[in-house]
Structure 1
């Protein structure tokens, strides 16, 4: 009499190994990724519905009272221009972080001051509004 061969038991899939690998990759990218400096917490950003995203590194923050802040320190346009080392590329343009409560007349006055210092093009930082 011929007995049937016993069926091989398949081991259940072990997903713990996969979870460990994904977790280690997450930690690696958190540590190895470049971090941008924090933006000025006193500024509430302008909202837009459609805009390109750019990193808020090296921004000139303009608070609601019209005061200028650069790298966490109060500045004037002249001291900012002496510290700022931008280039001709779009990525090197000065970035303005403008408080939405700032009157438009004050923003125009600051823009005129920037133009007098030789700045022709700036990028205004905004936050994307929820759809």
Structure 2
């Protein structure tokens, strides 16, 4: 059987494959050192990222304004005041086909509470309702 690589040897007795392996070793070392450098350099700073233009400052809410809010307890609030179910329709803005009613819902609200609210709003003539939620990052 004929060997795949020629067995030509240079003056020191090494073949071509040995010389290629020796030439690759400094390149492998360099890539490894660069990798270590970027890993260490990425962990050296504890400074937070600078605030981007147009982002909310700490303590500010960037959430859109809601016409009403439903809490996890099932309370209905308009302007941070709890509104009884009997007075809800008098406190809300009139139904408008061009602007949907915006409802902010707490993450702990049950589907039954939300369904009863939507049923009440549907009977009052609100055809379009937007449910506002906060994404979890």
Give the TM-score taking structure 1 as reference length.
0.50
User: Which protein shows a greater Rg?
Assistant: 2
RCO higher in structure (CA 8 A, sep ≥6): 1
Which has the larger strand fraction?
1
Which has the larger helix fraction?
2
